[in-house]
Amino acid sequence: MADRDPGNFGFQKSLGMSLYRYASLKQDASILPDAIRIMQRALDLDPADRDLQIGLGNAHFDVGYFNKDNASFERARGFYDKALARVPTDTDVRTDVGLTYFLQTPPDLEMAVKEFEKGLEANPKHERSLQFLIQTYVKKSDTAKATKALERLKAANPSNPAIAELASMIAAGPESVK
């Protein structure tokens, strides 16, 4: 249906984003290429649409994650960078950029730390950034920095459900981070 009216921005955007959300919810990577194609068509109609930039970043991120594909992580970063150019303090998007480095093979832990810390400059209590920063430091075998980041997380939210698991990871060392 989207192919019948390729110039209808609203329809392309709505369908592409909805299809992506469905693929994500169902964890069905086979749907992602169609979602990406439709969202890209919408973004071509309005290259400044930040929701589509983030949506395409997320869709490429998921392809990278499901398929262990570094090129998809790179594409995700490209879309995230466009979104961050307009709102550099978006900690959620910044965390996703950090995760592309953390999850690629081999991981680029220095870049992951850099991105998580940039996000935390904008929002020092961002729990998701702190959680992945801790895991990155554990993977780097930097127990002192991991412990310090865990204290930051505890200060941000003492009831965060990940605290116990993260403390165990710190104690177990880099092999505990998947």
Instruction: Give the angle 77-75-41 at the CA atoms, nearest 5°.
Output: 115
Look at 4-8, 40-44, 101-105 and tell me which has the smallest mean pLDDT.
4-8
Model confidence pLDDT, tens digit, residues 33-56: 999 999 999 999 999 999 999 999
Q: How far apart are CA 135 and CA 80, in angstroms?
A: 22
Give buried/exposed letters for 15-35 (b at 16+ CB in 10 A, else e). bbbebbeebbeeeeeebbeeb
CB 5 within 8 A of CB 11: yes
The mean pLDDT of the chain is: 96
Predicted confidence band of residue 127 (pLDDT cuts 50, 70, 90): very high
The arithmetic mean of pLDDT across residues 12-35, rounded, is 95
pLDDT beyond 70 at 1: no
Contacts of 153 (CB under 8 A, 6+ apart): 127, 130, 131, 134, 160, 162, 163, 166
The arithmetic mean of pLDDT across residues 9-25, rounded, is 95
